[in-house]
Amino acid sequence: MTMRVYVLASVSVVVFVLVAAARPAAQFPPKFTNLQVFPKDVAPADLVNTMKGFTRALGVRCEHCHVGEGNDLTKFDFAADTKPTKLVARKMLTMTTTLNAALKDMGEPSKDPKITCFTCHRGAVKPLTTAGGGTVNQNLER
């Protein structure tokens, strides 16, 4: 009985390894082009993690800023500047970078940025900058 369990476990491990090896690697382009705000030599993992952060901060998916749709990222045109949201994202990224640099100049000791997309967006496409989640709070108008 134990030999049967050992063989079954071994076969399961081999099948798992083969399936994992057959999966496509990253669906992102091997080289990033049209980087205007990020450094040209940004590490792919860093850029991808930053993009994932944008999706969480705004509650959107890749197609919000990039040309393409669905889950097959190999069919996206990441370099295209077609969508206005991508241009706005660049301006917003420049803004947060400038604000964080100003904080650092004022003696803020943190290495991590204090101001991020989530600071204002909090998971929404439009910044939630007023009380009451984007609407004027009636109690504040009195």
Tens-digit pLDDT string for the chain (142 aa): 566 656 565 555 555 555 444 444 446 677 888 999 999 999 989 999 999 999 999 999 999 999 998 888 888 999 999 999 999 999 999 999 999 888 888 877 767 778 889 988 889 998 887 665 555 444 444 3
pLDDT score for 23: 43
Q: What share of the chain is helix, strand, coil (3-state, %, to 5)?
A: 50, 0, 50
**CATH number at 44-140:** 1.10.468.10
pTM above 0.75, yes or no: no
Beta-carbon contacts of 141 under 8 Å, excluding residues fewer than 6 positions away, are none
Dig out the tokens for 65 from the structure: 């800023």
pLDDT score for 31: 80
Dig out the tokens for 136 from the structure: 């004027």
pLDDT score for 26: 47
CB–CB of 56/123 below 8 Å?
A: yes
Q: DSSP code of 132?
A: T
pLDDT score for 13: 52
The radius of gyration of the chain from alpha carbons, rounded to an integer in Å, stands at 22
pLDDT score for 32: 86
